[in-house]
Structures are given as C-alpha cells and as structure tokens.
Amino acid sequence: MNTEQYLAYMNAIVQTNLEDQVAPYAKAEYLEYTRLNTSRQSRWMKTQTVSEDLQTVLKEIKSPQQWLVITEPWCGDAAHVNPFIMLAAKENSLINLTFELRDSAPFSIEKYLTNGSKSIPKLIIRDEHGNDLATWGPRPAGCQAVYNELKERNAGFDEVLTAVQNWYNSNKGQEIQEELTKLLNEVMVRVKAVELNLV
C-alpha cells in the first residue's frame, strides 16, 4: 500500500461499526486503539514539520530508494512514528514509501525481528534494486528505555501504555527525526562507498 491507501485503510476501519468488523477489529479494544491512533497520527501530520537536519540529508538522496514500513493500524508506537516517516518521504520524490501489514502476507516481519519479536513499526530502506540498506524500529531509543524500565519492574499494561504515550507527546518527534537523520547519513556513506568501488 502507498501512503494514501494505508491512510484510507485506517479510516475505513474507524468508520466501520464493531459488528461489521473483521479480526482483530471485531474486538472493541482494537477498534478503540485504531480510533485513537488515527487521531494521533492526523495530529502529528498537521502540526509537525521535517527538521532542517533531516531535510538536508533527504536532499542528498540522488538515486531511488524504497522505504517499506511494516505496521498495523492498532499499533500505538506506529501512530507516533509513521507520520514522521511519511513527512520525511514527501521531501524527496526519489523515495517510494509503501506500507505492509505485519499480520498479513507476505509476512516480511519474519526477516526483521527485534530481539526475536515481531515489534512494529519497522522501517526498511532499500536501494532501487531492492537491496536492504538499513532498518529502523520499532521506537526511538529514549522511548525504548522507558519501555524497558517499566517491563523490568513488571508494570501493568495500562501503565506502560500511558508512559509511552506521554513520552511521545513530550518529545514531539524530535528523537525520531534525529535517529532517521543519523540512519540516512550512514546509508549515504555506504552508498557513496559502493559507487566509488564501481568506478
């Protein structure tokens, strides 16, 4: 799915009554997660812009790249991460951004596990030939540290959810953009090295 198709898919879920939903959205909590996530995602898209540092490295991309995001509409982290990936991809027409659902074929997440788990969202950056250049996800390091600390002390699900949500709200995408900038700078170094070897 491209960005427009993925957003339309989320909106279709939100606009469908519970009794007409298919799994997992036939469960009220999953439908509510998706409603909240749609609202949060929309807010970030309307209120945030791409940082100058990230804009700079995005402009340096001179050959086509394929960005694949493995995600699900019910995923809380995705509601905060995906908008910044979408905004970044819009900055350069050479970036082809697509979305794949984690729990549907072709199940690409199996090749991109995080410590053995199917954590999402996951961004895979590929060259124009489909070769992997980098991966990122499921969340920024600062948020991951908060998550890990809570899990280590066996915090309840709602406490973890609230703490992670508060982290994203206060950080306002700053760390996501910083990590994407660092990742893309590393990608550009590797791409240039390959080009030099081919000359």
| pLDDT tens string 91-138 | 999 999 999 999 999 999 999 999 999 999 999 999 999 999 999 999
pLDDT at res. 198? 57
Q: Structural domain of residue 27, as residue ranges? A: 3-198
pLDDT at res. 199? 46
pLDDT at res. 163? 96
What is the domain-level CATH number for residue 191?
A: 3.40.30.10
Say if CB 73 and CB 82 are below 8 A apart. no
Say if CB 25 and CB 34 are below 8 A apart. yes
pLDDT at res. 31? 96
Count of the separate structural domains present in the chain: 1
Positions of the chain with pLDDT under 50: 199
pLDDT at res. 5? 98
Share of the chain above pLDDT 90, in %: 93
